[in-house]
Each structure stands twice: as structure tokens, then as C-alpha cells.
């Protein structure tokens, strides 16, 4: 495959992303669903690819279209390789440019938020592994590794599902990544729809602090555009272009973070080969992206220690992250195998329904009892994240708290500092599948049950019962923010 073919495949990907944005702007149905343009573009490419258009063309006797659909083999090969590369960029940028909060300020907000987040994350493993042990393995002859798919697809989203493809395939679960991608699509669509339903329900029942009447967004917000008069900076210049462009500088920091992650992973793999590799292998099947996240943390801490952390602007990091994530989602959906989902439709439906029911139950039943104040505004963000991607949670929080008057956004951000290195694509997500493959589902089920119960009990009987004091602490945090 030539460099020209790779470049042309990327051009086609960008054009479809633009087409997806055009559909978002023009379609009222798509706007009400708040579907990202990347999801729209990826779905279009999937329909025009080998699994849909190719099959239709084959049935109609149209030669030359059966194998690749509208596209070429080089395009599909390029797109299938992109998610595994871009996911490391997404995770490397998560903490670069993030302000490290003071311990008191962080603990006040993070405690209940982290308890709820871990209940979502660990609970998805508990539900998935129980289904795998008692239903999927005996009735559908699935591998026990299917028990990790709810967390990979729902909590992790498209990026994590695509990034785990190499690990799943190396362990013999070839259909796992396609099933996880399908679950991620179900999760993000149902997460937005159910989130909007919950917000309107919360308004009617008086659970929201700042909304009255129907929860709505402006036309521009529904289209995903900024109005002409709005001023929303994309980032802060931290380097003079005469030396190096700011965007280029930030790409360099991302590259350094990924390189550090690669060195860490290579070191762990070397240690493994020198010690216990003959018994079992863990790091051999761990993907790079969770270590790239840790590499980003190391770079950020080092910059703070050297007093030059002002050179990293988190808004620009978010732009780099967004670019990588958009292209990742489009490429992952474009190369999704519907055959794998069709061959495992029963398990897929069971996992999807179980994940949705569990997440809805945690939000409606546990969030009010774990988070002392602003439970709806803060809980809806974790619900959105647990259904697909962090962006879904941010969208729902933006609707529930349009002027950011509650500490929901700040608490959510601080929680990510502790939560992301482990769940939703972190170390636990990366290690879960190799651990199930090596030791079976029971050890991980027991471990995740313990983590789930610790998070649940600490939330219910510590943070939930400290209602008055916690509310007073949060008022103090709000006053500090205002001051």
C-alpha cells in the first residue's frame, strides 16, 4: 500500500466527517438525538461498505463491489488501522494542561462523585461477568471474555472498543471488538435519548436545581454550532509562531507522553518475559493507550515541578483529542463487522439491555443517595459517561445546568483524574480481558464485586449520610469559586 493510497483514504474520511456535520445541521431528528457528526459519518460509511452495500451488490450480481462496497481495499485497510493508533493520542491528552486541585478542594467534590463513578464502572463488570457465567457461556457457547464487553463498550465507548481490538484478537476473541463497538453505538444513542427523558422528568418532579419547564437548547446548540456573536476561544497561545506554532508544540507534548507510555509498556513486557511469562502473560496483551495516559500524567507533573506548565494549554489539548477521537470513531464504525454482531445477536441484545437497565437503575436509585447535593446535575454526567463517552455526560450536564452554577462540571473533572487511569479504557479495562483469558471469570468477578461494594457502601453510608456537612462544604467550595 502506497503513501498516496493512505493519504487518499484520510481525505475520504475527512470528507465524510464533513458530510456528517452537514446532516447534523440540516436534520431536525439528528439534532434532537444530539448525535455527534462522527457517528453519523461512520454509519454512512458502514452502509456504503462491504457489509451492507457490498452484500446488496453481490446479491444483484454487480461484480467488483462485493468485497469492499463503494470503497477500495487500501481504504478499508487504512481505516481499520487508525483506531489502534489514534486511541493513544486521545488518552495521552486527558490530563495534559489540567490543573491539579488542592487536596481539600478535591476530596470535598471527588468523594461522592468517585463513589458513583466506580459503582457504574465496577458494576458493569459484575453484571457482564454474571451474564457470561450463567447465560452467555452455557447457552450461547460464548467465551467468558464477553463478560467485559459492557464496560468496554458502554463505559469505554467507541475509542476504547476500537483500541482493544488487537488485544481481543490476540486472545482469540475476534468478534469481541465488533460487539463492543456495537454496544458503544447502542450506548451513546440510548444514553442521549434516555438522558433527555430523565432531564425532563427531573424538571417535572422538581429534582433539578436550575431548570423549569421543558429542558431545551437553542437551535445553534442543537445543530452543534456557535452563533456568530458567541466568543468561545479554541485555546491559548503558549508559544510564539516565530519559534514553533503552539499547536505543533502541543503535538510534541502528546508525542512525548505516548513515547513514555510505550517505554513503560515495553519495560513491563520485558520484566514479564524475564519472570513469569511461562505461567501467564498480562502486559503482552495490554494495549498502549492506558500507558499513554500515564505518560501524559508524568509529563504534566514534570512540567509543574519545573514551573513551565503554563506552556501546555488544556483547551488546545482538547482540540487535539477531539481531532483524534472524531477520526477514530468514523474509521472504527466504517470498518465495523455487522457479520460478527449478526452471528452473536442474542448475546449482543442481552448485554445491551442489561447494560442500559443497570445504568438507569444506578442513576435513579443510587445517585440521589450517594451525592449529597445537586445529585441530578452531578449524577446525569456520570450516567452519560457510563453509556458511551465523556462528551455525552458533558452534553447532559450542559442541558441540566446551562450556566454551570453547580459544582457538577468541576466535580466531574476532578473525578476523572482518579477514575480514568483505571476504568473506561484505563488499566482495569486493559487488564480485564487478559485476566479472564488466563484465570477465568471468577477471580475478576470477585475483585470487581468487592470494589463495587466498597464504592456503594462508602457512598451510601459515608457520603450520603454526611448530607448537611457535605452540603456546607460544597457551599464553601462554591464561595471560593465565586470569589
Given a cut of 50, whether residue 468 has pLDDT beyond it is no
- Assess if residue 294 is contained within a domain: no
Q: Answer whether residue 389 shows pLDDT above 90.
A: no
pLDDT at 66: 72
Is 44 inside a domain boundary? yes
For the ranges 27-41, 165-179, 182-196, the lowest mean pLDDT is seen at: 27-41
The predicted pLDDT at position 481 comes to 47
Q: Which of 403, 425, 374 is nearest to 109 (CA)?
A: 374
Is position 250 within any domain?
A: no
Q: What pTM, to 2 d.p., does this model score?
A: 0.77
Structural domain includes residue 337: no
Angle (CA) 43-338-128 rounded to 5° is 100
CA distance 92 to 148: 23
pLDDT of residue 380: 92
Check residues 253 and 333 and name the one with the higher pLDDT.
253
pLDDT at 209 over 60: yes
H runs (alpha helix) in 387-440 = 390-400, 408-419, 427-439
Query: Regarding predicted confidence, which is higher, 374 or 219?
Result: 374
The answer to whether residue 13 sits within a structural domain is: yes
Highest mean pLDDT among 24-38, 242-256, 424-438: 242-256
Instruction: For 31-56, give one letter per residue: b (16+ CB within 10 A) or e.
Output: bebbbbbbbbbbbbbbebbbbebbbe
Q: If we measure between CA atoms, which residue out of 117, 197, 194, 109 comes closest to residue 373?
A: 109
Name the most confidently modeled range: 46-50, 70-74, 442-446, 456-460: 442-446
How many domains, the chain? 1
- Range of weakest confidence among 208-222, 227-241, 336-350, 401-415: 208-222
Q: What percent of the chain has pLDDT over 70?
A: 88
What pLDDT score was predicted for residue 260? Answer: 96
Number of other residues whose CB lies within 10 A of the CB of residue 330: 31
> Mean pLDDT for the chain?
84
Which residue range is the domain that position 58 belongs to? 1-24+35-78
Asked if the model's pLDDT at residue 269 lies above 50, the reply is yes
State the average pLDDT over residues 45-74: 83
Residue 6 neighbours by CB under 8 Å, 6+ apart: 74, 78
Res. 297: pLDDT tops 50: yes
Establish if 39 belongs to a structural domain.
yes
pLDDT of residue 32: 72
Q: Is the CB of residue 311 less than 8 Å from the CB of residue 303?
A: yes
Closest Cα to residue 55, out of 334, 330, 345, 338?
338
Residue 17 lies in a domain: yes
> What's the pLDDT score for residue 57?
82
Chain mean position to CA 423 = 10
Give the integer Cα–Cα distance in Å for 160 and 76.
20
Amino acid at each position: 500500500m502506497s503513501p498516496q493510497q493512505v493519504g487518499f483514504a484520510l481525505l475520504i474520511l475527512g470528507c465524510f466527517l464533513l458530510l456528517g456535520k452537514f446532516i447534523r445541521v440540516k436534520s431536525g431528528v439528528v439534532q434532537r438525538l444530539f448525535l455527534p457528526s462522527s457517528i453519523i459519518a461512520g454509519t454512512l460509511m458502514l452502509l456504503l461498505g462491504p457489509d451492507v452495500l457490498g452484500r446488496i451488490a453481490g446479491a444483484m450480481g454487480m461484480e467488483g463491489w462485493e468485497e469492499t462496497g463503494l470503497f477500495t481495499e487500501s481504504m478499508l485497510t487504512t481505516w481499520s488501522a487508525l483506531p489502534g493508533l489514534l486511541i493513544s493520542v486521545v488518552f495521552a491528552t486527558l490530563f495534559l494542561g489540567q490543573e491539579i486541585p488542592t487536596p481539600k478542594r478535591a476530596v470535598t467534590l471527588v468523594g461522592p462523585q468517585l463513589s458513583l463513578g466506580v459503582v457504574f464502572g465496577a458494576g458493569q463488570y459484575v453484571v457482564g461477568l454474571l451474564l457470561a457465567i450463567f447465560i452467555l457461556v452455557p447457552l450461547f457457547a460464548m467465551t467468558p471474555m464477553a463478560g467485559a464487553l459492557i464496560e468496554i463498550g458502554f463505559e469505554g465507548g467507541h475509542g476504547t472498543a476500537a483500541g482493544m481490538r488487537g488485544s481481543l484478537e490476540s486472545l482469540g476473541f475476534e468478534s469481541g471488538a465488533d460487539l463492543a463497538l456495537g454496544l458503544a453505538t447502542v450506548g451513546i444513542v440510548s444514553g442521549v435519548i434516555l438522558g433527555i427523558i430523565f432531564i425532563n422528568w427531573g424538571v417535572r418532579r422538581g429534582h433539578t436545581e436550575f431548570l423549569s419547564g421543558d429542558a431545551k437548547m437553542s437551535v445553534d446548540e442543537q445543530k452543534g454550532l456557535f452563533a456568530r456573536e458567541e466568543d468561545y476561544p479554541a485555546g491559548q497561545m503558549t508559544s510564539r509562531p516565530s519559534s514553533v506554532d503552539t499547536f505543533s508544540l502541543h503535538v510534541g507534548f502528546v508525542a512525548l507522553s505516548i513515547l513514555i507510555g510505550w517505554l513503560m509498556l515495553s519495560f513491563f513486557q520485558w520484566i514479564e518475559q524475564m519472570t513469569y511469562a511461562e505461567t501467564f502473560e498480562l502486559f503482552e496483551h495490554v494495549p498502549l493507550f492506558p500507558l499513554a495516559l500515564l505518560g501524559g500524567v508524568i509529563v504534566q507533573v514534570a512540567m509543574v515541578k519545573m514551573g513551565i506548565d503554563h506552556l501546555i494549554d488544556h483547551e488546545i489539548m482538547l482540540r487535539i483529542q477531539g481531532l483524534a477521537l472524531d477520526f477514530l470513531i468514523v474509521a472504527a464504525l466504517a470498518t465495523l463487522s455487522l457479520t460478527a454482531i449478526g452471528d452473536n445477536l442474542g448475546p449482543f441484545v442481552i448485554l445491551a439491555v442489561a447494560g442500559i437497565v443497570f445504568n438507569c437503575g444506578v442513576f435513579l436509585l443510587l445517585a440521589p443517595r450517594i451525592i449529597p447535593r445537586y445529585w441530578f446535575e452531578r449524577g446525569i454526567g456520570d450516567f452519560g459517561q457510563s453509556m458511551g463517552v465523556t462528551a455525552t455526560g458533558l452534553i447532559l450536564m450542559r442541558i441540566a445546568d446551562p450556566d454551570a452554577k453547580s459544582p457538577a462540571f468541576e466535580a466531574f473533572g476532578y473525578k476523572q483524574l482518579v477514575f480514568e487511569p483505571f476504568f473506561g479504557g484505563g488499566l482495569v479495562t486493559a487488564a480485564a480481558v487478559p485476566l479472564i483469558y488466563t484465570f477465568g471469570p471468577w477471580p475478576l468477578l470477585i475483585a470487581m464485586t468487592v470494589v463495587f461494594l466498597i464504592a456503594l457502601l462508602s457512598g451510601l453510608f459515608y457520603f450520603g449520610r454526611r448530607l448537611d456537612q457535605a452540603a456546607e462544604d460544597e457551599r464553601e467550595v462554591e464561595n471560593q469559586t465565586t470569589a
